[in-house]
Each structure stands twice: as C-alpha cells, then as structure tokens.
Structure 1
Amino acid sequence: MSNQDMFVGRQPMSGVTLTDEVLESLIRMQVDVDPGDLSALLDLVALGITVNAWRNSPVEDWHAEGRLSDGDMMRLNSHTTQAIRRRLAGWAIEFNVSSASSSSLAAVDVESVRALSALLIRWLVRPDRKLPTGMTLGDLPRSKAEMEACKEHVSLQLDLLVRSAETQGVRFGLLSVAAQSLMFCSSWWLHPTWADRVERFVSMLDCPTDPFWGEGGNRLKKLGAEPASVQDRSGLRSSLLTAPWELDATTAKWVTNAGIGAV
C-alpha cells in the first residue's frame, strides 16, 4: 500500500513554495489542460481522490495478494473515479459553484469541503456498495480489522483534503489533489491522455509488427485468442473511452495483460 498522501499546506518542493499559481504551472507542464477550467479541474480532482483514498489503500494490498486481478482494478478504479466525479458535480451545484472558471472556488466556504469529504467517506466505505466486478465492498476484506483499516485510510485521506482547504483555501486544496493525479494516474480513464492511449492501443491490435509487441509480435501471440468483445474494435474503443468498468472480466483481463497501461 502506498504511503503517498494528498498535499497538505504549502510545503516547499525543490526549493519552491507551493501556491495556487505553482500548482497551476505544474499541471500545465504535464498535460494540455487549463486548470482554470472548472470541469477539467474536477476531472483531475476525481482522479486524485480515487488514487489516494481508494487505490492506495488496503485495496491495493488485496490486489497484490491476488484477491483482485489487474482487470478488476481497472474496472474498480475507473468506476470509482466516475462515481466521485459525479459527486463532485453535484457538490458544485449544491454549493453554487456555477462559473465555468475554477477561480469561483476561491469563494467557496471550507464547510462545503467538509460536507464533500463526509459524503465521499460514506460512499467509499459502505460495505454494501456494489462494485463493477459483481461483489460488494464488504466481500473483499477477510476480517473486520481489514475493513476497519480501509475505513481509516479513506477517512485520513479525505481529512487531509479538508485540512488543506482549511489552511490554504478550497481552490488550493483541490489544485493540489489535481496535480497529484497527473503524477500517479497517467494511465487511467479520465486522465487527459486516456483517449490518445486508447486510440493507440486499439490501432496496435491490428498491427502485430508494431514494436510494442516485441520481436515477431511475440507479446501479442502470448496473449492468446482475443475475446469477442476485443475483436469488435469499435465496441472496444467505445467501452474503453466511456465506461471501462462495464467491460466483462475476461475482456478487462485480456486488455490489461496486453499492456494498455504501458502504451
């Protein structure tokens, strides 16, 4: 399990003090995204919350132990990102963040972030929460202690977001989470480069001589027969772009084994 936490406060980084402007520059340096665009920023925030509060939790330990496959993780992570993004949109509406510019976040009260944190914690740790793999969250841990550890991790990470908003402002807190997502979620659905990754991956499937597959296309050959849903290139492209959590287990496993995350 990663011990990487959300940014809190204005920590120095290589001699640079983190500010809203520095974080915006960090985001622009990594991807062609304008952090001044509220919708684009909330996409990145959803990724950052997912990686810190969900993926880098005991869930990743369970994955490492073999309880979840790489395909399972792709479905779980993308589904969680999508659900958190929807909740961020609802939060913005509830607290009258109606401007298309993220500068409007500067006027948002920290109490709204506390409300957001509480909402996300409740949803993330519900034992009866249905996962796209068909099981519930409560089916994953093998003991009450494991479930409690997961709850503690989620609460800690969302509390860090609240602390950051309390000390340096709501916009800074969300920018810091967004900047982190670019470092740790570059191969994830909703990342700004995901669409290009999918196009490249799907096109390679029909090109066994592509260098990605190694000498003689050995890597592609070792994958074995393509599932029917992979053979349907148009359908695969659409599913990967819009809702990878809806892929069946066999397809998700094949796609991750093929190395979509390494494209």
Structure 2
Amino acid sequence: MADASIIPDDIQRRIDEVQARMTEEVFEEMLAKAGVDPADLAALLDVLAIGITNGAWRNSCVENWHAEGRLSDGDMMRVNSHTTHGVRQRLRGWTKEFGVSASTSEGLAELAVEDADALGYRLFRWLTNPARKLATGATLGELAKTEMNLDEYVEHADQSLRGFIAQMEDKGVRFGLLRTACHGALACQQWWGHPTWPARVDRFMAMLDNPEDDQWGPSAAYRERLLPEPSDLQDRSALRATLLKEPWELGSTTADWITDAGIGYLTPLTNTSRMS
C-alpha cells in the first residue's frame, strides 16, 4: 500500500509555489484592505488576538459543544469576545515584556523564536486551564463536563498553537504574527475586536428603532418573530457602550436576543476607528 503521507511531486510543487508567494508584504497588503494598518502595533494585536482565538478556541470541539446546546448563540458571542480579550491582554503583556513598546509593529521583527515559544506556552496554559472562568460564569472544566472532552480541547489547542509557533520558526516571528493576524482580519469580520465592529454596532443600534430597516424584512416580519426586547435593551446608550467595550458583560437573555436579531449578519455602512 502506498504511503499516504507522501505528497506527489506536482502537488508539492504547487504547495511550494503558493508558500513562496506568502510574504510579509503580501500579508501587509491584505491587512490594509481589511482596514488594519499593519504598522500599527495595537491594531495588529487586535486582529492577531482574533486569529489566535478563532484557531485555538472557537474552531475546536467548543463548536460541537455549542451545537449540542451547552452554549447558546449569545453565549458564544460572550465567550468568544471574552476569550479574545484575554488573548489580547496576554499579547500586549508579551510585547512589552520582550521590548516591543513602540507603537509600530516593526519591532516584532527583532523578536526571537524563543520569545514566541514563551507566548505560545502562556496562551496554552491560560486557554486550557480547567479553572478558567468563562463569560457565562462556568469554568472550562464545567463546560467540558468530562476529562475526555477536556482532553480533546487541550489536544486541539496544543496543535493549533504549535502550528502558530511553527510559522515563526520557519520564516520569522513577524511573518508568523502577520499571517495569523490576516486570518483574524479576513475570516472573522463579525467579531468584537475587528476594526469594523464599531460600525457593525452602530448599524445594529440604528436598526433597533427603525421598523422599516431592510434587516427586518417586509413589514418587519422577522422582528415580529423575535421575543419581546429584554429590559437591558431599553437604555440604548448603555447597550451601545457595552457592545463596543465588553459584550461579554451582557446578560444571557440580552445576548441571545441580539444574536437572534442578526448582529453577526449585518453589513456595516462605514468603517470606524478601532476600539481602545
């Protein structure tokens, strides 16, 4: 029987050609088109946190747990945004600790692979800690329910973060960070932390008080199918502030109503500046 791990020469050649076209300059262009200034360290860390969270957390057995009903759509918005926030905090701490304190991302090129290893280890320890408290109030261990389920997630996080670090070992730390940042910027445009999130929130706020908004469909039929607005939605100013800064602080019922109303499917009308 042929060894399935052997890649045919023509396929390997195509893979090599694609990889050869993946450069820091290409990633920078992709980020700029997504509304991210690749030279702005803070902006880069925002979408980098999204890319890491999507790969090492959301695209795992967590999605299966969501499908099983352990997490509602609103819970997923709260948990994913809170996890992104935690990853971003650790990225900011890591860059400061290893001397990248300027506002430009160019300093990332001076980091060594060993420095990246330290980041990967810290993220792994935090993400996989069974006592880590999620935005729902449950711990990771409680969400997983069993050691087998927890081990499945730990294995996924380990593989994802090892792949993240391997990119840097191959072509440099900044290359690997830019590549994962591109993933966050391009694949997760509906996430908190993305540069288009403020515009998405403003679009959502505008439709709340406009029964003729296209989002509701003809005669606002879609809104009619929703449950009555939770009381937390009545203070529009406070709601907007929470969505912008810390959507994980929303109540469960409110978060579910917002996701049911389709905030993740809105097309922002304009781009606004990123969050602090």
Q: TM-score range by the shorter chain?
A: over 0.9
Unmatched 5+ stretches in structure 2: 1-14, 267-276
In structure 2, C-alpha distance between the alignment counterparts of 1:75 and 1:62, rounded to whole Å: 15
Contact 1:195/1:241 (8 A) holds in 2 = yes
Runs of 4+ in 1 over 6 A off after TM superposition: none
1:176 Cα deviation after fit: 0.4
Query: In percent, how many aligned pairs have the same letter?
Result: 50
2:66 is aligned, of 40, 43, 63, to 63
In structure 2, C-alpha distance between the alignment counterparts of 1:82 and 1:241, rounded to whole Å: 12
In structure 2, C-alpha distance between the alignment counterparts of 1:141 and 1:34, rounded to whole Å: 38
1:239 lines up with 2:258 in the alignment: no
1:143 Cα deviation after fit: 2.3
Aligned to 1:168: 171
Tell me the TM-score normalized by structure 2.
Answer: 0.89
Contact 1:11/1:18 (8 A) holds in 2 = no
Give deviations 1:132-151, integer Å, cap 9, x for gaps.
Answer: 10110001123211111100
Aligned to 1:256: 259
Matched length: 252
In structure 1, C-alpha distance between the alignment counterparts of 2:35 and 2:57, rounded to whole Å: 26
In structure 2, C-alpha distance between the alignment counterparts of 1:118 and 1:252, rounded to whole Å: 32
1:23 is aligned, of 27, 40, 46, to 27
Give the RMSD, CA atoms, in angstroms. Answer: 1.3
SS in structure 1 at match of 2:66: helix
1:11–1:115 distance in 2 versus 1, CA, 3 Å: farther
1:45 is aligned, of 20, 44, 48, to 48
SS in structure 1 at match of 2:130: coil
Unmatched 5+ stretches in structure 1: 1-9
Contact 1:130/1:136 (8 A) holds in 2 = yes
Aligned to 1:5: none
In structure 1, C-alpha distance between the alignment counterparts of 2:25 and 2:223, rounded to whole Å: 44
1:195 is aligned, of 194, 198, 207, to 198
1:230 lines up with 2:233 in the alignment: yes
Tell me the TM-score normalized by structure 1.
Answer: 0.93
1:186 lines up with 2:189 in the alignment: yes
2:139 is aligned, of 136, 139, 153, to 136
Give deviations 1:11-39, integer Å, cap 9, x for gaps.
Answer: 644x971000011111112x222101111
